[in-house]
Chains A and B, each alone.
Chain A
Amino acid sequence: MAEKTLIEVVNDGLRDELRRDERTFILGEDVAEGGVFKATEGLFDEFGEKRVIDMPLAEAAIVGISIGASLNGLLPIAEIQFADFIHPAFDQIVSEAARLHYRSNGTWSCPITIRTPYGAGIHGGPYHSQSIEAFYAHVPGLKVICVGSPYDAKGLLKSAIRDPNPVLFLEHKKAYRLFREEVPEDEYTIPIGKAAVKREGSDITLVTYGLMTRHSLEAAETLQSEDGVSVEVIDLRTVSPWDKERVLESVRKTGKALIVYEDNITGGFGAEVAATIAEEAFDYLDGPVTRIASPDVPIAPYSGILEEYVLPNPAKIAEGIRKLAGY
């Protein structure tokens, strides 16, 4: 099995799907030359101008045109260059793509995939670093995936493209080239809406997603070796719909829950996870449901010193685990 980076498997996954189904095509800014992160590298050469379409700088059009093309038999895979720039398309995603099936009583459907790099940690400043999943996880009719590892990214990208609903596919940009992971060459998919237990444990349930999974695993290792605390790390992978059952099952076992997310703490997706645990696993809890997230400042300041100060990291997560373990 080959070891691959996240960006390499996104490229592989796109190529596989373009080969597999001639209804698929890619549209976005700079996609013909490979895109700013090289996610679409080599695809224009293999598939040509009808399958890899460079778009004007117009995010509402990228999504709106994808919606239209999906109504007329195609499977668009749109790329928004940075998640921070998706906001002009909010109306098209929320009012149109997510509501079309419902408002037409199940007669029209909108099988589009919107890929976009998100997340901080690359000195991107306040406009190349945002986590946007909470805005969209709030919207019925839209599926939202957040990937931070190569294996998950490939299997979930394929599921997203094949899904008959609109899917927002968020790729953590710091994870793009941060590490390699064994990824099968053979075809596989990962179901949307299923979490993965990345590390089994018995004392605390840690729920996370995106790049925070890697940081959390590092913190869990530290706690195991230094404090003898056993942490179960669950990567949600999909935030909407999310795998409540898997999370609740773990919390009922450990009695303690820590939620880690990179977004601002207030109204972040972890708040929904916390509320659900409090509501549905109250009788099993042996400590407060707690959260580690970024403070409520625009994510993220450009200076590496400032950025490091606000973002969750393995040390901050380890501290959170220690505190919760004390109950």
Chain B
Amino acid sequence: MVSVKEISGAMGLNTEQLLKLYETMFMARAVGERERMLNRMGKGPFAVTGEGHEAAQVGTAFALTPGKDWVVPYYRDIGVALTIGMSPRDLLMGHLSRSDAIESGGRNMPSHFSSVELHVVSGSAPVSTQVPHAVGIALASKLRGLGEVAVTYFGDGGASVGDVHEAMNFAGIHKLPVIFVCENNQYAISVHVRKQMAIENVSARAAAYGFPGVTVDGNDVLAVYEAARQAVERARSGDGPTFIEAKTYRLVPHTSDDDDSRYRSKEEVDEWRRKDPLIRFQAWLEEHGVADKKAIDEVRAKVMQEIDAATEFAENAPTPAPETALRHVFVEGGD
């Protein structure tokens, strides 16, 4: 039996849940690192990952009911996909464009997460086009009385796109069960957030659409989780949308094709490495007696084992048959 005694500052989460949070954050970090490594080894042509965003991603998705609620992520959301139930194997199969990869079978770029069963909606690469989709999903949930909540994710750069305005405006008018999560890592590739917006907190925009916006320390997983939990509660009880801005930092280049030393200093990156959400949460777990160093090491070893096995599986999995490139343009047998 897991201890049910209240852990101070744990936002109502028990030991098992807290360890799960850590495990998923670490898994997201390790999958990202593995994908970049495979890319450097010449095995996958491209990698886009989210090291540094783990608290923002896992903390928000942890407040959802997997398979019932919907996530409409963007390309950095490895932590979201894993929290909802996609596996390292699913993601690495996608990274290596294997024929049985559930995301796309080698059609979409890696980190374009998708699972019909888990309500993870396939995304594209134009930025923020996914945001109206979450609003449409939430509209259907409301019209059909399903009680499902939709969460969509985008970056500080993505917040500039007109689709976000159009989507938030409609969601506010109809009080839809949707949550807008902006992972503000302060850079849209090379463009600093100061050249992206004139305001300090992008969450301030929510007021203009008639719903609450909150800014949280995006490297504090428990603060993020609590903001998301409240937003899910609001959405579920018919009180409408919430905008959550999670302030964080991308510890790695934008993608495998980016050199971030061209636009930000090593000192700046190092400063944020000291605020690494994984280091912070590990320290918290140890301080609050949830897990000692040994327990953390065990979690990490288990995750690495799973990722190694997933890598081996994906590397040996079949590639798509060339002629399948012509399939699924239209629904087959549709008319």
Contacts and interface: CB of A to CB of B under 8 A. Distances in A.
B136 A70 contact: yes
A64 B327 contact: no
Nearest to B100: A105
B330 A64 contact: no
B331 A164 contact: yes
B27 interface: no
Contact of B170 (A58, A74, A165): A58
A23 B200 CA distance: 43
A284 to B, nearest CB: 29
Contacts of A68: 72, 132-140, 150
Interface stretch (B31-39, B73-81, B123-131, B191-199): B123-131
B225 interface: no
Contact of B148 (A70, A72, A163): A72
B274 interface: no
Nearest to B173: A56
Given A60-B163, A65-B170, A103 B116 contact: no
A309 interface: no
A61 B335 CA distance: 28
A192 B334 CA distance: 11
A70 B331 CA distance: 14
A107 B103 CA distance: 9
Interface stretch (A93-101, A222-230, A298-306): A93-101
A74 B144 contact: yes
B170 A55 contact: yes
Interface in B88-138: 101-108, 112, 114, 116, 121-122, 124-126, 129, 131-138
B129 A92 contact: yes
A195 interface: no
Interface in B63-86: 70, 72
Interface in B152-167: 162-163, 166-167
Nearest to B163: A60
Contacts of A55: 170
Interface in B294-335: 327-332, 334-335
A42 to B, nearest CB: 21
A232 to B, nearest CB: 26
A165 B70 CA distance: 22
A231 to B, nearest CB: 31
B2 interface: no
B169 interface: yes
Contacts of A25: 143
Contact of B133 (A67, A140, A141): A67
Contacts of A64: 129, 131-133, 135-136, 163, 166-167
18 contacts: A61-B169, A63-B132, A64-B132, A64-B135, A66-B136, A68-B150, A69-B143, A71-B140, A72-B140, A74-B143, A96-B124, A101-B330, A104-B103, A105-B104, A106-B327, A107-B102, A141-B330, A191-B335
In the complex, the 3 A-B pairs of residues with the closest C-beta atoms, listed nearest first:
A68-B136, A64-B132, A72-B140
